[in-house]
Structure 1
Amino acid sequence: MPKVSAKRQITLPVSQCQALGIEPGDEVESFVAYGQLTIVKKKQGAARGILKHVQGNPSMTDEESMESSLQ
């Protein structure tokens, strides 16, 4: 079982990295929702154009926006 280091670093199990195609040097995104930590591999261009029609709400913080999208 992975442990959190003094620097708050976590080593991901090889089997999980292989299942997701995560290689050394890849970028990942992490976020907390409903008390769970989720780690997602970033894929360049994966969302290109998908959200171009969505208008942002400048009065909402990034965290508020993320939480509202998960509900």
Structure 2
Amino acid sequence: MPKVSAKRQITLPVSQCEALEIEPGDDVESFIAYGQLIIVKKKRGAARSVLKHVLGNPSMTDEESMENSLQ
């Protein structure tokens, strides 16, 4: 099971990287949704299907959103 290092880095298991075709040097994005950390390989539209059920609040600023996610 991966652990978070002192620098807050996470090493992904080889099997998960292979399943998602993540190679060294690839960009990934991380999101928090419903208390879960979601990591996706960064490519156009990659997060769309994963996050389609997450509704945004257009009246909330980015700063307010970040504050709410930390609570």
Equivalence for 1:31: 31
Q: Flag structure 1 segments of 5+ consecutive residues without an equivalent.
A: 48-56, 65-71
Equivalence for 1:17: 17
User: What TM-score, normalized to structure 2?
Assistant: 0.64
Q: How many residues align?
A: 53
Q: Flag structure 2 segments of 5+ consecutive residues without an equivalent.
A: 46-57, 66-71
Shift of 1:62: 3.6
Q: Percent identity?
A: 83
Distance in 2 of aligned mates of 1:24 and 1:62: 30
Equivalence for 1:6: 6
RMSD: 2.1
Deviation >4 Å, runs of 4+: none
